[in-house]
């Protein structure tokens, strides 16, 4: 066992030792963060593991999502379910295993996903007559059913969503939450009578995703369209949210695809329209994954650990009583009164563990990113007050008990807004506008470049080959009535403004 593993083993077991008393220093040195955020790759993995979000499994590229992180995923599920049901979307479930013949029905689709597909070829000791793909996405298995369910215009629109796991095998460098062989998501699949209705829905879904990211996860984004080479395999076009990571790299967030009639023709999904003519449906698919949790953790975390936006936090407020043996009963009694008061409105936890010092608890809850901490001791009780401590800024304020509910509500709202604005300012400060191709090469090391592009795939490929970056998106907001100038790569008249960056 190497030194680092021995150190981690000792730390994890000491953490469980209920005889520890003077442990606040140990918490900061061993159990707390030891890597700075400017060393992003190592910091991020340490953050995920030490804050109790996830762990590695014995399957390469697959992680165990622990309850603390999964509870945040459940909040996202609830938020999305509410909004999707308002659009008439219904939840269902389709098989994990997809016959090879179905996966091959849409040629572009299977070509795009074939490197990532895991196959089941044997059941027990019996070779299967037909290999079964482990779900990389569900278009093919779902559209076989759609072709049976849809007969008339009265059956449309058909809007189905499922919450499932996905397996995509082909990559070399897994990163917890951000890039794993198995991940969780919701995938929505819809069929429409008219192209216009389908395309309207593409933006409706993306706006829902943007709302969840910005108002709840406090993550800013750029809304844009993927290039032809980067779009969803088998679709007409793909719209996405693109996020900036703390190291300046881009990462794709939720996406919404207009599939046109590519799959309906492949799977014979037709309906008899009001004019008595048989027509193919127009289709969309869209998804939101557990990757967003990783983006949120990375975006807001700091050198002390997580910072979780209040609206998504499993615990919004933690109460830490401070006492000695002679006043323990009195302080705990007041702490429980505060808990009872706040529980009616907030997600609150009282840390009344007797085996750990207040300093240890402070460090632990900072590591876990709880937005707001209440400290209460005998002197505070005498003054009829508590101390509020913000996780985002570290600011401490004394608050009278009669003003506590209002103060907590105000602080949580302020923390939520501050996290979003801070992330937005970081993103905007790391977007550069290179004047020429040489500047582009320099900029994309730790920033995004906003540049004019002619639309030619040859220029797109040259960027990939010579910079290790790529065109991550054609931003919608910057391509309406915006002068484009000349392509930064070839000098021809530009058709689009695009963002270029290294990416996950």
Task: Work out how many domains the chain is built from and give that number.
Answer: 4
Residues 282 and 338 in one domain: no
Assigned domain for 62 exists:
no
- pLDDT of res. 208: 98
Please give the residue that has the higher pLDDT: either 189 or 109.
189
- Distance CA(53)–CA(65), nearest Å, equals 6
Which among 299, 318, 352 is the end of a domain? Answer: 299
> Looking at 99-113, 260-274, 316-330, which range is the least confident one?
99-113
Average pLDDT, the chain: 92
Which among 427, 449, 465 is the end of a domain? Answer: 427
Supply the pTM of this predicted model.
0.92
Please give the residue that has the higher pLDDT: either 21 or 495.
495
By the 8 A CB rule, do 28 and 294 touch?
no
Assigned domain for 60 exists:
no
- CB proximity list for 465: less than 8 A, separation 6 or greater: none
Residues 221 and 113 in one domain: yes
Residues 412 and 485 in one domain: no
Residues 111 and 223 in one domain: yes
Assigned domain for 214 exists:
yes
Residues 326 and 471 in one domain: no
- Distance CA(318)–CA(340), nearest Å, equals 13
- pLDDT of res. 30: 65
Residues 286 and 331 in one domain: no
- pLDDT of res. 481: 67
Convert 53-76 to b/e letters by CB count within 10 Å (16 or more is b).
bbeeeeeebebebeebbbebbebb
Q: Residue 470 maps to which CATH number?
A: 3.30.110.30
- Does residue 272 surpass a pLDDT of 80? yes
- Does residue 211 surpass a pLDDT of 90? yes
- pLDDT of res. 477: 87
Q: What percent of the chain has pLDDT over 70?
A: 93
Region 450-467 average pLDDT: 97
Q: Residue 355 maps to which CATH number?
A: 3.40.50.800
> Looking at 110-114, 198-202, 209-213, 409-413, which range is the least confident one?
110-114
The dihedral over CA atoms of 212, 214, 216, 217, expressed in degrees to the nearest 10, equals 100
Strands of the sheet with 348-350, listed across from one edge: 348-350, 317-321, 372-376, 385-390, 396-400
- pLDDT of res. 7: 36
> Looking at 5-9, 46-50, 129-133, 334-338, which range is the least confident one?
5-9
Backbone angles phi, psi at 451, to 5 degrees: -145, 155
- Does residue 28 surpass a pLDDT of 70? no
- Does residue 174 surpass a pLDDT of 80? yes
Residues 258 and 130 in one domain: yes
Query: 293: closest CA among 238, 187, 218, 182?
Result: 218
Residues 346 and 472 in one domain: no
Assigned domain for 339 exists:
yes
**Strand, coil or helix: what is 28?**
helix
Please give the residue that has the higher pLDDT: either 357 or 18.
357
**Which uninterrupted H or E stretch holds 112?**
helix 107-113
Count Cα atoms within 13 angstroms, Cβ side, for 393. 14
Residues 71 and 48 in one domain: no
Cβ-in-10-Å burial (0-12, 13-18, 19+) of 487 comes to buried
Containing structural domain, residue 480: 431-501
Residues 290 and 372 in one domain: no
Residues 223 and 144 in one domain: yes
By the 8 A CB rule, do 318 and 367 touch?
no
Residue entry with tokens 């083993």: 9
Q: Residue 182 has which token pair? A: 């198995």
Which among 275, 299, 323 is the end of a domain? Answer: 299
- pLDDT of res. 141: 96
Query: 359: closest CA among 395, 317, 389, 326?
Result: 389
- Does residue 392 surpass a pLDDT of 80? yes
- Does residue 29 surpass a pLDDT of 80? no
Region 198-213 average pLDDT: 98
Model confidence over 336-387: pLDDT tens digits?
999 999 999 999 999 999 999 999 999 999 999 999 999 999 999 999 999 9
Region 138-167 average pLDDT: 97
- Does residue 9 surpass a pLDDT of 70? no
- Distance CA(62)–CA(221), nearest Å, equals 27
Assigned domain for 321 exists:
yes
The dihedral over CA atoms of 325, 329, 331, 333, expressed in degrees to the nearest 10, equals 170
Residues 395 and 327 in one domain: yes
**Which uninterrupted H or E stretch holds 385?**
strand 385-390
- pLDDT of res. 1: 39
- Does residue 22 surpass a pLDDT of 60? no
By the 8 A CB rule, do 348 and 367 touch?
no
Region 496-504 average pLDDT: 96
Region 104-112 average pLDDT: 75
Assigned domain for 243 exists:
yes
Region 417-426 average pLDDT: 98
């Amino acid at each position: 066992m190497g030194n680092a593993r021995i150190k981690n083993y000792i730390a994890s077991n000491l953490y469980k030792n209920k005889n520890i008393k003077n442990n606040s220093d140990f918490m900061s040195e061993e159990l707390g963060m030891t890597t700075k955020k400017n060393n992003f790759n190592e910091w991020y993995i340490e953050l995920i593991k030490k804050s109790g979000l996830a762990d590695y499994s014995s399957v390469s590229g697959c992680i165990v999502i622990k309850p603390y992180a999964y509870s945040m995923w459940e909040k996202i599920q609830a938020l999305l379910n509410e909004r999707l049901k308002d659009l008439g979307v219904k939840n269902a479930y389709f098989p994990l295993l997809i016959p090879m013949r179905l996966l091959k029905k849409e040629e572009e689709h299977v070509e795009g996903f074939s490197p990532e597909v895991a196959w089941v070829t044997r059941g027990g000791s019996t070779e299967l007559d037909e290999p079964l793909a482990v779900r990389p996405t569900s278009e093919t298995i779902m559209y076989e059913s759609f072709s049976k369910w849809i007969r008339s215009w009265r059956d449309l629109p058909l809007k189905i969503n499922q919450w499932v796991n996905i397996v995509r095998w082909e990559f070399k460098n897994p990163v917890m939450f951000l890039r794993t062989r198995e991940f969780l998501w919701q995938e929505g699949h819809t069929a429409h009578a008219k192209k216009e209705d389908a395309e309207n829905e593409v933006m409706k879904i993306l706006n829902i995703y943007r709302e969840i990211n910005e108002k709840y996860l406090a993550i800013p984004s750029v809304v844009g369209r993927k290039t032809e080479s980067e779009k969803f395999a088998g679709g007409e076009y793909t719209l996405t949210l693109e996020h900036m990571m703390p190291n300046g790299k881009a990462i794709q967030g939720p996406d919404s695809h207009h599939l046109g009639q590519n799959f309906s023709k492949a799977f014979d999904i037709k309906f008899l329209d009001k004019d008595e003519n048989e027509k193919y449906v127009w289709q969309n698919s869209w998804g939101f994954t557990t990757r967003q949790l990783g983006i949120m953790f990375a975006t807001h975390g700091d050198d002390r650990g997580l910072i979780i936006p209040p609206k998504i936090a499993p615990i919004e407020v933690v109460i830490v009583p401070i006492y000695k043996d002679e006043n323990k009963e009195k302080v705990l009694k007041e702490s429980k009164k505060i808990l009872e008061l706040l529980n009616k409105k907030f997600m609150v936890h009282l840390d009344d563990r007797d085996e750990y010092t207040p300093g240890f608890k402070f460090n632990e809850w900072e590591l876990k990113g709880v937005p707001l901490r209440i400290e209460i001791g005998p002197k505070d009780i005498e003054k009829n007050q508590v101390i509020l401590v913000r996780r985002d800024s570290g600011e401490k304020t004394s608050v009278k008990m009669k003003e506590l509910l209002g103060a907590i509500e105000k602080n949580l709202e302020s923390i939520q807004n501050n996290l979003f604005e801070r992330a937005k300012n970081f993103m905007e400060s790391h977007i550069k506008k290179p004047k020429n191709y040489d500047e582009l090469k320099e900029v994309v090391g730790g920033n995004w470049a906003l540049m004019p592009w002619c639309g030619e795939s040859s220029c797109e490929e040259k960027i990939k080959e010579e910079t290790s970056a790529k065109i991550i998106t054609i931003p919608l907001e910057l391509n309406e009535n915006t002068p484009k100038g000349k392509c930064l790569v070839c000098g021809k008249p530009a058709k689009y403004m695009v963002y270029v960056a290294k990416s996950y």
